[in-house]
A and B are shown apart, each in its own frame.
Chain A
Amino acid sequence: MRPETEAELAEIVAGLNGPVRIAGGGTRGVAGPEPVLSAAGLRGITLYEPGALTLVARAGTPLAEIDAALEAEGQQLAFEPMDYRGLLGTSGEPTIGGVVAANISGPRRIQAGACRDFLLGVHYVDGLGRVIKNGGRVMKNVTGYDLVKLMAGSWGTLGVLTEVSLKVLPKPEAQMTLAVGAPDVRTAVEVMSAALKSPYEVSGAAYDPSTGRALLRIEGFSDSVAYRDNRLREAVGGESIGSEDSALRWGELRDVRAFHDHDGDVWRLSVKPGDAPDIAARISADRLLFDWGGGLIWASVPKGTDVRERLGHFQGHATLLRADAPTMEELGRFQPENIAIQSLTKGIQKKFDPRGVFNQGLMG
């Protein structure tokens, strides 16, 4: 099923008599029941005002099309959405709806915010086929409940996104990366923390243990980047990597390039940065990568490993991103919530999709 308008999509949903799997570009590895209800036919940027930093697009618009339109005006999606294709071995075209539905954010999340922080408004079709709108296209809006946030990261369990409005930002003129030697995770987190506590607006802080270097990114106008790079180097040491190389590194970090050719299950953990060294040790992974100053841990582990069981209770959550179907089925993609949160989640899903037709069992 591949409708081309919001009205067609709504009509299809209203007429459903069994569960469907919602897909955009199908690049983010969501398995589930057939048939597939694709939003990829809803294409096109409907409004772009560079002077107001806002862009509105239909949910099936390819991310590449949006990036190109923004690039032409020297702007960008500041939350730096990751491309999952390399990591998951999927093909297809990532769509803006998919990015929003999964709340995909990259390294700049620590400074600029997550996808959900840039989402100004949504249109979606609920489980009964009704078109609902929430939010709008202005940056400040507290009119009624913020269902915009609720839809971001709901992985299609509450509705099918048909249109999204986003805040965009100027693309920095230059960037530089400071590479600081760090023999272990604890030292790396200390270095990253010192950088993030500085006034120099570090927009990326990552650590790859295999290289033994923490990377700190600074972006902005050239003169300002040079100044802050100097000041930061005085504070934490290291050597500077220039603009082009820097962009390349952060592209690789964003897409977790280091794990692409590595066999094994891939987990993604959001933790308190200071807890990262201890948690990383407890995972005893084959391969680790740290982003968000230590607050985001990527772990590659032997197939079938239950990382949540290894960790027991910790502050944060662990998501299973890459595994074979039986492991995904057994362990579940998302960390189970406590009873109270589960009951709220199920309650909301029941209200938004009373017949239970959307992405059943994926979340909650």
Chain B
Amino acid sequence: MEMPRPNPDVIARKRALVARLQQVLPNDAVIHDEAETRAYECDALTAYKCPPLLAVLPSTTQQVSDVLRICHDLNVPVVPRGAGTSLAGGALPTADCVILGVARMNDVLEVDYDNRFIKVQTGRTNLSVTGAVEEEDFFYAPDPSSQLACAIAGNIAMNSGGAHCLKYGVTTNNLMGVTMVMMDGSVVEIGGAYLDAGGLDLLGVICGSEGQLGVVTEATLRILRKPEGARPVLMGFDDNEVAGQCVSDIIKSGILPVAIEFMDRLCIRACENFAHAGYPDCEALLIVEVEGSEAEIDSQLSKIIEIAKRHNPVELRESQSADESARIWLGRKSAFGAMGQINDYMCLDGTIPVSSLPFVLRRIGELSEDYGLPVGNVFHAGDGNMHPLILFDANKPGDLEKCEAFGAEILKLCVDAGGCLTGEHGVGIEKRDLMNHQYATHDLEAQMAVKDVFDPNWLLNPAKVFPLEVSAGRRVAAE
């Protein structure tokens, strides 16, 4: 993956930059020792690494503002970083950049149950937002798999989703307001504890802009009362197509499950070997979960089971207890760990229209044979968000490149089927060069024009999202 050549002028001014930053931050918040900056050399896309020029860990919005103003004055690129869990390389540094980490900003600023919101500093982890409101039986809905570690700042940057978004939406649907620091150090407030911020929906375009428009330091998030209960049903099928048809029939019946998860044979076997969840050995497995009171759950599950039976399932297991529910979820939740046991893997997250599922799965199978690399599929079936996991051997020369080429073909396939490159991980560097496949030049121009307004010098996370050759003119003009 190509990254822009670091600017030697910036690197040459490191000492001056450190001195300026130390004037506005405590000493331990400016990390410039080469051994220590290495901690920030990559995110969860570990195939790519580059230590930054230095890293800063501000504790307040004012400090973030001071840092950005200084970097703006000295023309230094800044890469914002939440918890560094991006699978797309969204927080990958360049050698001439300052990493701005928000990890020290993790306070809860306000909890208001009557008005159903929480206001937090964005370094707070996703799960600990729910943790802060759990005593009143509330929760924050978006639940990315990395929720134990990932920060709200990164969730906002990538517009993170999760398993339960069929019912509750993704980050953008649960974000009410932000305090954001612009690259020139100015601080803007957008939205708040009321619905639908006035004027243009700037909040909507900031969410998912991958840290390229500003650094969000505080967020007002919608919180919801927990449902009375939730219970899954597990069903196995001999055919992917039939499983896909079953998903479509459930949705058409008027039931809105909170989650519909899909696993293919390779994943089922891997999970079973790893977690011993008691999964059947079959072609396709669905886990469908519904919410409500006991009676409501019973009634919805019986409707779902009736639909499933019309599709001749090889297995149908309705959870009767919390213990059984946990077992049904156990395999799915350990899917990534299970695949990691087998081999190194690359996880994609292209989205497709649910109706093209059988075709796409068949084609991925064919490609897998062509490339000689196995693929397992786990998948949020209700919303078409696929997670093909390509297995490869990082120690085998050429395997990573082969895996990336295969991955790129799968993502193009998703786009051609009417879907998109990424459903919840973001573009980062990983899918940057595929953007031309989904969007025409004019479409990308329109997006970059927004960045031109927020960050005219293209200093914030500049080498991400857009193909390097497409953004080159803007980045070079900034140097």
Contact = CB atoms under 8 A, between A and B. Distances in A.
Interface stretch (A85-93, A165-173, A248-256): A165-173
B115 A274 contact: yes
A53 B182 CA distance: 37
Given A138-B418, A227-B296, A147 B172 contact: no
5 contacts: A138-B385, A142-B170, A142-B426, A224-B299, A315-B192
B461 interface: no
Contacts of B355: 49, 51-52
Interface string A334-364: 1101101100110110011000000000011
A217 interface: no
Given A136-B420, A140-B161, A197 B116 contact: yes
B323 to A, nearest CB: 23
Interface stretch (A22-30, A111-119, A280-288): A111-119
A139 interface: yes
Contacts of A259: none
B173 interface: yes
B426 A272 contact: no
A196 B226 CA distance: 11
B199 interface: yes
Contacts of A270: 194-196, 198
B211 to A, nearest CB: 12
Given A132-B442, A221-B296, 6 more contacts: A51-B248, A142-B423, A143-B421, A144-B444, A170-B255, A351-B450
B420 A141 contact: yes
Contact of B450 (A133, A147, A228): A147
Contacts of B114: 193, 197, 273-274
A322 B465 CA distance: 43
A146 B254 contact: no
Interface in A193-235: 193, 196-199, 201, 221, 223-224, 227-228, 231
A21 interface: no
Interface residues of B, number: 94
B476 interface: no
A326 to B, nearest CB: 23
Given A52-B354, A347-B453, A348-B453, A113 B248 contact: no
B383 A138 contact: yes
A134 B446 contact: yes
Interface in A136-195: 136-150, 152-154, 157-158, 169-173, 193
B194 A272 contact: yes
A54 B354 CA distance: 10
Interface stretch (B201-209, B324-332, B333-341, B368-376): B201-209
Contacts of B107: none
A197 B116 CA distance: 7
Contacts of B158: 142
A136 B424 CA distance: 14
Contacts of A142: 158-159, 161, 170, 208, 422-427
A74 interface: yes
A193 B200 contact: no
Contact of A140 (B190, B384, B444): B384
B265 interface: no
Interface in A50-65: 50-54
Interface of B: 112-116, 137, 158-159, 161, 165-166, 169-170, 172-173, 182, 186, 188-190, 192-205, 207-209, 225-228, 247-249, 251-256, 292-293, 295-296, 299-300, 351-355, 380, 382-385, 418-427, 431, 435, 438-440, 442-444, 446-447, 449-454, 465-466
A347 B213 CA distance: 13
Residue from A53, A193, A227, A292 having most chain B Cβ neighbours under 10 A: A53
A142 B421 CA distance: 8
Contact of A153 (B200, B248, B354): B200
A110 B435 contact: no
A117 B168 CA distance: 11
A203 to B, nearest CB: 12
A290 to B, nearest CB: 13
Nearest to B435: A144
Interface string A233-266: 0000000000000000000000000000000000
A170 B256 contact: yes
A169 B208 CA distance: 24
B225 to A, nearest CB: 5
A315 B173 contact: no
Chain A, interface residues (CB within 8 Å), range: 35 or more
A199 B138 CA distance: 9
A144 B254 CA distance: 32
A81 interface: no
A169 B195 contact: no
A357 B188 CA distance: 28
Contacts of B192: 272, 315-316
Contacts of A144: 427, 435, 438-439, 443-444, 447, 465-466
A319 interface: yes
Contacts of B186: 340
A316 B113 CA distance: 18
The CB with the most chain A CB atoms within 10 A, among B209, B255, B292, B295, is that of B292
Given A140-B384, A141-B423, A198-B225, A152 B204 contact: yes
Contacts of B207: 146, 149
A158 B202 CA distance: 13
A131 B445 CA distance: 12
Contacts of B112: 274
A144 B69 CA distance: 26
Contacts of B383: 138-140
A138 B188 contact: no
Contacts of A51: 247-249, 251-252, 354-355
B118 to A, nearest CB: 13
A172 B253 CA distance: 11
A115 B389 CA distance: 34
Nearest to B382: A139
A103 interface: yes
Nearest to A159: B446
A303 interface: no
A199 B223 CA distance: 12
Contacts of B196: 103, 105, 109, 114, 116, 153, 270
Nearest to A349: B200
Nearest to B249: A51
Contacts of B225: 197-199
B353 A134 contact: no
Interface string A310-344: 00000111010000000000000011011011001
B194 A316 contact: yes
B423 A341 contact: no
A140 B380 contact: yes
B201 A150 contact: yes
Contacts of B193: 272, 315
Given A140-B380, A197-B225, A199-B226, A351 B201 contact: no
A109 B195 contact: yes
Contacts of A83: none
Contacts of A126: 446
Contacts of B195: 109-110, 114, 270, 292, 295-296
